[in-house]
Chains A and B, each alone.
Chain A
């Protein structure tokens, strides 16, 4: 039986739960009833996941753009450099940071499922988990990039990293021109989730952009 929290807001479900939602609830309740873990541990893990957002990754990128020694440490060992900043790797994954240059553009994907640098970016976007992106990112990455508006000349090498096991990837985008006088915080505000996946570059906002 559930204990109801009188202080929790009433939330009306818009539609009946689907098959997998029912399955998840049933398995979760069974595991809790069996004493394998407590409901509080599930809530704790949800809090862990919710606390990870692309703002953390953006902070890492902005630091790398402004601190050459940190950049070198980040490229040598992504995980320990992020840990320096206080970002924990709760899932015990490694992190390889991939440096974009004028000659190399990196793109990350997980063809087998949805491996993603969650400790530094949080949950992946839906399209990252869907089969069209997963299949096409490795077989026709330039077409996929073009659909995101990223068209690269042939003399720029596309490096697709398929994360399948213990290592996650994070793209270190090129710092846009015209940001020489930006503070670290101003730089971090430019860095998007999609840029750290590698589907778009980091760019300065243009006059017509929405805030």
Chain B
């Protein structure tokens, strides 16, 4: 049973950083163009490209770039399924301009663009 006091307590829950997704479907995002050393799960062809968030992948996942070094504590965030038109990735793309690429990208690699 949820009584009035419980409902009020539930309404005031504060979520920790990373619990709620930073991006929502339909938002435009740029994939960072950085070239760190180590284990990274963002293919080179994607770096610096602009796409649209298609879906938030639930549940949150470990940052597998950190996990690659055995560091797992406190770094769960969301992955996003991002869609990009093929001609934006490949200037001479041989095929229909409607063809698309879909890929999951960890939150720390994305920035919102206006």
Contact = CB atoms under 8 A, between A and B. Distances in A.
Given A154-B96, A155-B96, A166-B61, A112 B102 contact: no
A161 B101 CA distance: 6
Q: Is the interface of A mostly helix, strand, loop or mixed?
A: mixed
Interface in B46-66: 57, 61-62, 64
Nearest to B42: A164
Given A140-B95, A142-B94, A157 B45 contact: no
Nearest to A135: B45
Interface of A: 94, 96, 111-112, 138-143, 154-167
B74 to A, nearest CB: 17
Chain B contact surface mostly? mixed
Interface of B: 41-43, 45, 57, 61-62, 64, 79, 81, 86, 89-90, 93-96, 98-106
Given A157-B99, A157-B100, A159-B99, A164 B94 contact: no
Contact of A140 (B57, B94, B104): B94
Given A94-B57, A138-B89, A140-B95, A164 B100 contact: no
